[in-house]
Structure 1
Amino acid sequence: MTTIDDFTAQYGLVKKIDAFGYLDWLKANPDAPRKHGKVVLVTADTPLKASRGEGKTTTTIALIDALNARGIDATAVLRQPSMGITAAGSKGGASGGGKASLTHPELIDWGLTGEMAAIAAAQNLLVSFAEKAVDDGRIDTILVPRVSEVPSRSLRSIAVDYGKGDVKERVVLTPTSELMQIVCLSRSMDEISRRVAAMIAGTKDGKPVTFGEFVDLWRITGILADAVKPALTETVNGSPVYVHGGPFANVSIGIPTLVAVEMACALHDVVIVEAGYGADAGAQKWLDIASREYGAAWPSAAVVVTRASTWRDDPELAWRYPFHVQRLENFDIPTFPLVNLWDGEDDQVPSLRETAKELEFRTPIIGNLFRDGGEALAPQLDGFVEALEAAPASAQFHSRKGMDLVENVRWIANNAYGVPAERVILKDGFAESLAEARALCDGAGISLDDLAVVAVKSPATMTDNDRAPEAERTVTLKKVEVHAGAGLVHVNLTTSLTTPMPKIV
C-alpha cells in the first residue's frame, strides 16, 4: 500500500518529502487513509527590540512534545531561518533551545536543509537573465533584486554601468525575495513555473516585461527540485517536525509553505504553525494572506507567546499583548496567553496569573520551556485541548481581493494595529509610488487591488510610535512595490530593512 514513505528520501541527516507528489496522490485516491488535522497558530507579543525573540519556536516544540505526551498526534511546521541574521546570534537560532529543541539544530539554523541556498541561486539567476536582457535591449530597468544570506550594507542600493547609463540594482536577504514567496504559496511545480513567468523582470520604455517573455523556465524550476520538498526532522523527544519556507514576517510573508502545512494536516491530528515575529506581523499575514487569499486552514486555536518582561515591565507598551490576544479572540479563535519564563522568574508566576485574570484572558500557560520543555506544559493544557477539540475545522473569512489598496491597508491598520482609518497618513511621495505601481500592473494586465497586501514594517513597533497615547497613534504609508508573480503587493509602513545587519553576540 502506498504511504508517505514512498514520497520520502534521505537528505543528509534529515529527510525530504515530495509534498507536491503526495498531495497529488491523495487527490487521485480520495479513499486513501488521511487525516484532517486542525491548525494551531503560534504567534507572539511585539518584542521590545527587533533583534529579540519571544520564544515562539521553543514554545512550538514544547507544545507538540506536551501534546504527544498526552496521546495527541501533533506535529509542527517551522520556517527555515535566515542564516545571515538568526543563526548569527541575533535571535538565538530558530530551532528551539534546551529541552525544547530539535535533534540537529545546526542543520536548520545554518540552512543545510538546502532550500534557502537553492532559492537564492534561482533568484540570482533570474537577475542575471535580466542583466543580459538589458544588454540585448529587451529591458532598460531591472526590478528584481539579487539576494544574499550574508547581509552587506553597501549592497542595499547599487548602480551598474552597462555602457548605456547606470542601471539601479539592489540586494535583499533571501527570505524576503519574491521567489521565496512563490515557493511558500504554490501547490505544484506547474504553479511555480506560472508564477515565475509572471514575475516582472523590468521595464522597457516604461512598460513591464515579465520573465516568461525571455527565460526558459526549466532553468529555474530545475534548481528548485529539492527546495520545494519540506524537510522532516524531529524534536529531542521524538516529535516529528517539518521545516519549510522563509522567515521575516515584518518585510515578507513570514509563514511556512502552504504545501507543507497541507501535507502535515493530512498526516497528523494537530498541526502547530509558527508565523514570524508578533501577532501584528506573522499572525496578521497567516490570517490575511495564507487563509483569506490562498485558502490555507483558518486556525482552530492560537497561542500568543511573550516574556514576562515584555508583557509587564514597560507600562507604555503594556497595551500590545492584551491587544494581540483580544484581536484573535475577536475572530472566534480560542487564544491562550503563554508566558515563556527565563531563569530566576519562577517566583513571578502567581502575579502573572493574577494579571491575566484582571485582563480577562483564558487561563494562562506559564513555564520555563528552555529548562523544562514539554513537561512544563503538559499539565496546563486541559483548557487548550478542550477548546481545540470544540473548534470547527473549516471556519473561513472573506477575501478582501478587489478592495482599493489604500482602504485595504487602512483595514489592516485598524484590525492589526488598533489605528483607525482617519489616522492612516500618506507620506509625501506615497501617491506617486502608488500611481507607478498601478501603471506597472495595468501594463502587465493585472489589477493592483487584486494582489494580497504585505505590510512591510518594523518588527518592534505596531504604529509610528507605540508609546504615544492611544488617541494619537498613527500609521504612515510610505511606498508600494509589486510582486506580481507571488500575487502580492508590498506597502511600506514603518522603518524596516530588507537587508538588516546581524547583531554580534
Structure 2
Amino acid sequence: MSAFDEFVAPYGLVSKVDAFGYLDYLETHPEERTKRGKVVLVTADTPLKASRGEGKTTTTIALIDALRERGVDAAAVLRQPSMGITAAGSKGGASGGGKSSLAHPELVDWGLCGEMAAIENAQNLLVSFAEKAVDEGLLDQILVPRVSEVPSRALRQIVVDRGKSNIPERMVLTPTCELMQIVVLSRSMEEISRRVAAMTAGTLDGKPVLFGEFIDLWRITNMLADAVKPAMMTTQAGSPVYVHCGPFANVSLGIPSLVSVEMACARHDVVVVEAGYGADAGAQKWLDIAAREFGAPWPAAAVVVTRASTWRDEPALRWRYPFHVNRMEGLGIPAFPLVNLWEGEDGQVGELKESAAGLGLREPILGNLFRDGGEALASQLDALIAVLRPRQAGGRDEAPAEALRSHKGMDMVDQLRWIAASAYGVPAERVQAAPAFADSLANARALCHAEGRDLNDLVPVAVKSPATMTDDDSAPEAERTVTLKKMEVHTGAGLVQVNLTKSLTTPMPKIV
C-alpha cells in the first residue's frame, strides 16, 4: 500500500482524495515525492455560440489516452460541471463523448460527489446568518448573494419581506460564487477558514461587516469536509482523471482547484489541465490568476482546440484562433493547434494543414476524437512529447519573468487595460467605461478602504461573454473596443469581478 492510498477513500462508484492531507504529507516526507509533473493546458478557440463548446473535455480525455499509449505517465484534471447548464444539455455532457469519455459519465454530468451542492449549501447558510444578523442589528444591508445550481433570472434581484422593512438580496449560479472561488484557490482548510472569515457579509451604517466578526467558521468548514476532496475517476480506456471544482470561466475562474492539479503533478509526469471556454477566458485565468498570483504550475505546453467550422467559416472572426495560439507562443508556451473534426470533415484535413502552415502555426493535430478516441492522436504527438520529455525530470517550468510578475498594487483600471491588450488584442486607449462604471469603481474602492484594504491589491476576474473577446469581434482590428461595465469585490477570495462587454452572470440552459 502506497502513502497515497492512505489518503484515498471509496465514494460510491468513484474515490475521493484528501488532497490537502496528501500534499501536507509530502511536505514532511519529501523523499516520497517521485514525480514533478508538467502541466499541459487544454484551452480552445472562442466558440461561435456560447452554448456550443469546441470539445476541450473530449480532447483532454483523448490526449491522456494517447499519451499513455505512447508510454507517457499522463493524467487529466477536469472541472466539475454545473447541473443547471452543462448537465441540462446546453453543450452536451461535461465528461467527453464517444470513445473519448469518462467511465461513469452520468456521475459527472449529474452532480458527481456533491461538491457543488455542498458549496451551494454553505454559501446559502452564510446568507442565512447574514439575514439573522439583520434581525440582531449587526447588519442593515446584505452584500453576499444566495446561490443556486439551477439558473433562474427571476431570482437575480429579490426582496425579502421582513414585515416592517424589506431587504434586497441577489442570487447567482453556484460556480460563480465567492465560496467556490475560495475552494478553488485554497491549499488547506485553515486557508478556507481565513478566507471565509474575510468575506464581506454586508454593511452597518455604511461600514462593511465581515463574516468572521459574528459567526463561528466551523459551521461552514464542516459542511465542506468532503467538497474539498477531488474525485478520482478513469477514462473508458483506464487513464487516471481527477475532477474538482467549478466551470464557467466566462463568469468566474473556470479552472479546477489548485490542489487537485498539484496533487496530480506529485503523482504523474504529465498533467493535462482543462480550463473553461476559450483561451481568452479559462487560459487567461490560469495564466494571469492561478499561475501569476496564486503560484499554480506554469504550463509546459498548451493544446488549443477548435472546430473546423469555428476556425474558418466566419471570415470576420478568423483572426481569433491564430491570436490565441500566438499569445501562448508569445509567453514561451509551445502551443499546438488541435482541430476536433466532426463526422464528414475528414476530407478537410489537407486544407486545414495548409491553412495552419500559412498562418505560421505548428503542425496541427487533427482527428475525430468522438469516433476514434486517443487512437486518432497517438501517432501525431511526436512534437508535443519532444517538448515535454527533456523537462520531465526538472522542476517548475520557466515562464518569462514579466509573465509571473505580480500585478498587485497596479491601478485596477490599468490591470483591466492590460488584460484587454494581452488577452483580447485591444490596446489600452480603446478600453472604455460604461456610464455606471465610475460609481461601481468608487464603491469598490470605498468598501476596500473601509476594511483596511487596497482595491489595487485584489486580482481582477473578467466576467465576459464566452462567445466574444471584444465589444464586436467582427469589427476591423483598429475599431475593436472593450467596455468596462461594473465590478464586485470578493474580499475573502481576494478577487474583484469585473463585467466586460456582453456578459450574463445567470446564463440559461439551451432547450434541447
TM-score by length of 1: 0.99
Shift of 1:165: 2.8
Sequence identity, in percent? 74
**1:25 paired to 2:28:** no
1:57 & 1:342 partners in 2: Cα distance?
A: 15
Question: Partner residue of 1:503?
Answer: 510
Matched, 1:466 2:469: no
Distance 2:249 2:506 in 1: 14
1:455 paired with 2:462, answer yes
Q: Name 2:397's counterpart in structure 1.
A: 394
Q: Does 1:170 align with 2:170?
A: yes
Quick check: 1:40–1:299 contact (8 Å CA) kept in 2?
Answer: yes
Is the partner of 1:336 in helix, strand or coil?
strand
Distance 2:484 2:397 in 1: 34
In 2, distance between residues paired with 1:112 and 1:323? 35
The residue number in structure 2 matching 1:292 is 292
Q: Which residue of 2 aligns with 1:139?
A: 139
Which residue of structure 2 aligns with residue 58 of structure 1? 58
What amino acid does structure 1 have at the position aligned with 2:335?
A: T
User: How far did 1:34 drift?
Assistant: 2.7
d(CA) in 2 for partners of 1:247 and 1:390?
Answer: 32
- Listed one character per residue, the Cα deviations across residues 59-85 of structure 1 (whole Å, up to 9, x for unaligned) are 000000000001100000000000000
Deviation at 1:2, TM superposition (A): 4.9
Q: CA deviation at 1:206?
A: 1.0
Corresponding position of 2:236:
236
What's the Cα RMSD here?
0.9
Residue number in structure 1 paired with 2:108: 108
Aligned residue identity for 1:130? A
Distance in 1, Cα, partners of 2:284 & 2:174: 21
Deviations 1:325-353 (A, max 9, x none): 00010000000000000000000000000
How far does residue 394 in structure 1 lie from its aligned partner after superposition? 2.8
CA distance in 2, matches of 1:249, 1:288: 13
Aligned AA for 2:426? V
Residue of structure 2 equivalent to 1:376: 376
Runs of 4 or more, structure 1, over 3 Å off, are 390-393
Matched, 1:475 2:468: no
Q: Which residue of 2 aligns with 1:121?
A: 121
In 1: Cα distance, 2:502 partner to 2:159 partner: 23
Question: Is 1:431 the equivalent of 2:459?
Answer: no
Q: CA deviation at 1:243?
A: 0.1
Is the contact between residue 135 and residue 162 of structure 1 (CA under 8 Å) also seen in structure 2? no
Displacement after TM superposition at 1:461 (Å) = 0.2
SS of 2:305's equivalent in the other structure is strand
Q: Which residue of 2 aligns with 1:327?
A: 327
Counterparts of 2:164 and 2:326, CA distance in 1: 56
Distance 1:45 1:394 in 2: 24
Q: Which amino acid aligns with 1:394?
A: D
Structure 1 residue 390, shift from structure 2 partner: 4.3
> Shift of the alpha carbon at 1:495?
2.0
Q: 1:91-106 to 2 correspondence within 5 Å?
A: 91-106=91-106
Equivalent in the alignment of 2:160 = 160
Correspondences of 1:247-258 after superposition (within 5 Å): 247-258=247-258
CA distance in 2 between partners of 1:388 and 1:68 (Å): 14
Contiguous gaps of at least 5 residues in structure 1: none
Cα distance, 1:501 vs structure 2: 1.0
Q: Structure 2: where are the runs of 5+ without partners?
A: none
1:182 aligns with 2:189: no
Cα deviation, residue 32, structure 1: 1.6
How many residues are matched?
505
- Which sits farther off after the overlay, 163-172 or 447-456? 163-172
Query: Which residue is equivalent to 2:356?
Result: 356
Distance (Å, rounded) in 1 between the aligned partners of 2:212 and 2:510 = 39
One-letter identity of the residue aligned with 1:424: V
